[in-house]
């Protein structure tokens, strides 16, 4: 970075100012150009110091951080304000955003999140300068605050089959781990168990979540990264898991806020929207009916993996689902067929025949009862010890194909399709 990012710190407690300054001294791209103890002082100094980014305490003596934010932006319109507040001030935070703050952090911020937020704010400032910032980017939400600088938002991959027992959960769980292996420990992978009533991702991974998606749902319109952190479970591989509710009746909490005409579940959609900027991949395991949860996932997915085994009832179900997608104008280039449980020695339907009846498959996964059942029964994903088995290797191959496919340039889906599809899905439910 040619120029350093000019930062101003506003906090009435000297110790806090010094702590922040010290944290920032570790970032060679950042220069603290001014400090102020009150809002009035900040307004006074901002025109002289001309910072790129201001770290603004929300509680200040005299005029508070919110009023000060409005004033400093009035004085220097390009300045980016990051609000700092103690926990539990969400009302204030909303007002701060209205006053023009870009972002907020909870005190005391971690070094990484602080620097990420500053870099991100600086990028926004530069975009403002070039006029490339859309209006929608002005209202930064809490969700964006966990998004590291320069990283694109997650690709969402939903794993679905119309019938149970075809291997969705097996694929979703092991794919999350294969992607982590493929992309390295820095990659941020999230696995969401969208089979809300009977989800068993936690069983496949031997997790005992203290909290689940049922605890997240009531806050769907008001999510913040800390709440999310209390609910995700981190698997040893680094994959972050959002587990399904502990019992079927708990899933009802997703029913409340609904009623949209396109039929997708508002709460589930809000959760997906919230996690998306914070990860590189979000994998969604699903139940087997076409319901509002699936439609929410479908709406947001870059890729839907349609799983079938080479047996007639499942192939028929998958075909019917594809037909439905077609009728509803869902972009079929976003569907990837996976034939699971392929056994060349037995009398099953040949995968090539399935492909002819549907579409080319993105992968064939071999039947391997020993590996798959052992894994399911032990609660140890195949990728832990079975990565070298043919099934493990095929799952790794699937991860590679997916990564290639979702990052390949694709033609835009015509806007008309989206609205037609929504109308169609709404009628369906
Ligand atoms: N390729 C495979 N070979 C053998 N068994 C498999 C294979 N894939 C999955 N299984 C087994 O099939 C059962 C159902 O898989 P699961 O992932 O729970 O399906 P779903 O989520 O679609 O209901 C599990 O016991 C799993 O271990
Ligand atoms: Mg399942």
Among candidate residues 295, 267, 300, 270, the one with its CA nearest the CA of residue 283 = 300
Ligand 1 closest atom vs CA 368? 3
Whether residue 341 sits in one domain with residue 194: yes
Rounded mean pLDDT, 272-277: 96
- CA–centroid distance, 419 to ligand 2, in Å, is 30
Atom 16 of ligand 1, nearest CA residue: 167
Ligand 1 mutation target, pool 160, 167, 338, most atoms within 8 A of CB = 167
Domain boundary among 85, 113, 146: 146
For residues 274 and 336, membership in a common domain is answered with yes
Looking at every residue in the chain, the average pLDDT score rounds to: 86
Which range marks the domain in which residue 12 is found? 5-146
| Ligand 2 centroid, distance to 306 Cα (angstroms) | 13
pTM check: above 0.75:
no
What letter does residue 350 receive in the DSSP assignment? P
Residue 135 has pLDDT above 70, yes or no: no
CA distances from 75 to 34, 68, 78 (A): 16, 10, 9
- Region 266-271 average pLDDT: 94
| CATH number, domain containing residue 118 | 3.40.50.2300
Residue 272, C-beta contacts closer than 8 angstroms, at least 6 positions apart: 156, 192, 282, 284, 296, 297, 300
Same domain, 205 and 344: yes
Q: Which residue, judged by its Cα, is nearest atom 6 of ligand 1? A: 372
Count Cβ atoms within 10 A of the Cβ of residue 373 and give its class: 0-12 exposed, 13-18 middle, 19 or more buried. Answer: exposed
Q: How far apart are CA 203 and CA 66, in angstroms?
A: 46
Mean pLDDT to the nearest integer, 108-130: 82
181 and 202, same domain (yes or no): yes
Work out which ligand 1 atom sits closest to the CA atom of 391.
Answer: 1
| Model confidence at 137: pLDDT above 50 | no
> Cα(165) to centroid of ligand 1, in Å?
6
**Contact 367 CB / ligand 1 (< 6 Å):** yes
What pLDDT does residue 114 have?
93
**Taking each helix axis from N to C terminus, what angle separates 14-24 and 111-130, rounded to the nearest 10 degrees?**
80
What is the reported pLDDT for 2?
Answer: 57
Give the DSSP H or E segment for 422.
helix 415-428
CA distance 103 to 118: 9
- Atom number, ligand 1, closest to the C-alpha of residue 342: 1
Q: What is the mean pLDDT of residues 301-316?
A: 96
Q: Going by DSSP bridges, is the β-strand pair 335-342/5-10 parallel, antiparallel, or unpaired?
A: unpaired
- Shared domain check, 223 and 113: no
Q: Is the CB–ligand 1 distance for residue 376 below 6 Å? A: yes
**Nearest CA-CA partner of 54 in 141, 131, 122:** 122
- On the question of pLDDT at 418 being above 60, the answer is no
| Nearest bound ligand to the CA of residue 165 | 1
Q: Is the pLDDT of residue 405 over 90?
A: yes
What pLDDT score does 88 carry?
62
The Cα diameter of the chain in Å comes to: 81
- Position 87 scores a pLDDT of 67
Report pLDDT digits (tens) over 72-94: 988 888 899 999 988 666 667 76
SS3 category, 35: strand
* Together in a domain, 352 and 217: yes
Residue 171: is its pLDDT beyond 70?
yes
Ligand 1 touching residue 189 (CB < 6 A): no
Same domain membership, residue 386 and residue 249? yes
Same domain, 71 and 195: no
CB 120 within 8 A of CB 149: yes
Kindly indicate the confidence band of residue 40, based on its pLDDT and cuts at 50, 70 and 90. Answer: very high
**Residue 170 Cα to ligand 1 middle (Å):** 6
Question: Would the CB of 368 count as within 6 Å of ligand 1?
Answer: yes
Confidence at residue 416, expressed as pLDDT on a 0 to 100 scale: 44
Per-residue confidence band for 367, with pLDDT thresholds at 50, 70 and 90 = very high
Q: What is the chain's length?
A: 429
pLDDT for position 144: 34
pLDDT of 373 above 60: yes
- DSSP assignment of 263-283, as one string? ---HHHHHHHHHHGGG-SEEE
Q: Which ligand has the shortest distance to the CA of 201? A: 2
Confidence check: pLDDT of 143 > 60: no
Q: Rounded to whole angstroms, how far apart are CA atoms 421 and 240?
A: 31
Q: In this structure, are 195 and 243 located in the same domain? A: yes
Residue 145's pLDDT is what? Answer: 35
Better-scored residue on pLDDT, 426 or 300? 300
| Number of domains making up the chain | 2
Which residues on neighbouring strands pair with residue 104, listed in sequence order? 83
**Confidence (pLDDT) at 328:** 77
pLDDT at 288 over 50: yes
CATH of the domain at 382: 3.40.50.300
Distance of CA 99 to the CA centre of its chain: 27
Mean local confidence (pLDDT), 243-258: 87
Judge whether residue 50 has pLDDT over 60: yes
Residue 186 to residue 175: CA distance in whole angstroms: 16
Residue 293 contacts residue 263 (beta carbons within 8 Å) = no
Strand 240-242 to strand 233-234: parallel, antiparallel, or no bridges (unpaired)?
Answer: antiparallel
Q: Which of the residue ranges 180-184, 258-262, 284-288, 336-340 would you say has the lowest mean pLDDT?
A: 258-262
Helices (H), 250-381: 266-275, 292-300, 312-327, 351-357, 369-378
pLDDT of residue 326: 84
State the pLDDT at residue 136: 28
Give the number of the atom of ligand 1 that is nearest the alpha carbon of residue 161.
Answer: 22
Ligand 1 binding pocket includes 203 (Cβ within 6 Å):
no
Ligand 1: nearest atom to the Cα of 369: 4
**Predicted local confidence at residue 89, as pLDDT:** 65
Q: Distance of CA 200 to CAs 163, 167, 173, 238, 247, Å?
A: 15, 12, 10, 19, 11
For ligand 1, say whether the CB of 340 is within 6 Å of any of its atoms. Answer: yes
């Amino acid at each position: 970075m040619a120029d350093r990012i000019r930062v101003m710190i506003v906090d009435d407690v000297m110790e806090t100012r010094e702590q922040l300054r010290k944290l920032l001294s570790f970032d060679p791209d950042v220069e603290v150009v001014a400090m102020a103890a009150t809002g009035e002082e900040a307004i006074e100094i901002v025109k002289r110091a001309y910072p790129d980014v201001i770290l603004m305490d929300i509680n200040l003596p005299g005029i508070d951080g919110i009023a000060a934010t409005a004033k400093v932006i009035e004085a220097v319109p390009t300045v980016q304000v990051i609000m700092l507040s103690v926990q539990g001030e969400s009302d204030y935070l909303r007002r701060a955003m209205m006053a023009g703050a870009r972002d907020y952090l909870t005190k005391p911020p971690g070094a990484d999140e602080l620097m990420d937020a500053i870099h991100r704010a600086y990028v926004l400032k530069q975009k403002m300068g070039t006029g490339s910032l859309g209006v929608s980017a002005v209202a930064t939400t809490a969700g964006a605050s966990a998004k590291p600088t320069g990283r694109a938002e997650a690709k969402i991959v939903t794993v679905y089959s119309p019938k149970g027992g075809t291997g969705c959960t097996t694929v979703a769980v092991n794919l999350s781990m294969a992607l982590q292996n493929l992309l390295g420990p820095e990659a941020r992978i999230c696995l969401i168990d969208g089979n809300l009533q009977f989800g068993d991702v936690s069983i496949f991974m031997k997790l005992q979540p203290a909290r689940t998606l049922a605890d997240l749902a009531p806050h769907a319109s008001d999510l913040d990264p800390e709440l999310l952190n209390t609910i995700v479970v981190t698997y040893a591989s680094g994959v972050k898991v959002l587990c399904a509710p502990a019992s079927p009746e708990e899933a009802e909490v997703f029913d409340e806020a609904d009623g949209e005409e396109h039929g997708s579940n508002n709460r589930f959609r809000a959760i997906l929207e919230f996690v998306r900027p914070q990860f590189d991949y979000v994998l969604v395991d699903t139940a087997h009916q076409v319901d509002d949860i699936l439609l929410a996932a479908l709406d947001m997915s870059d890729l839907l993996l349609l799983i079938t085994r080479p047996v007639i009832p499942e192939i028929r179900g998958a075909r019917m689902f594809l037909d439905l997608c077609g009728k509803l104008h869902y972009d079929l280039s976003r569907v990837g067929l996976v034939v699971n449980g392929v056994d060349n020695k037995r009398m099953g339907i040949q995968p090539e025949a399935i492909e002819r009846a549907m579409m080319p498959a993105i992968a064939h996964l071999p039947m391997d009862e020993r590996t798959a059942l052992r894994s399911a029964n032990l609660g140890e994903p195949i990728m832990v010890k079975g990565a070298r088995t043919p099934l493990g290797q095929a799952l790794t191959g699937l991860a590679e194909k997916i990564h290639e496919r979702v990052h390949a340039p694709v033609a835009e889906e015509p806007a008309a399709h989206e609205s037609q599809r929504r109308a169609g899905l709404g009628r369906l439910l």
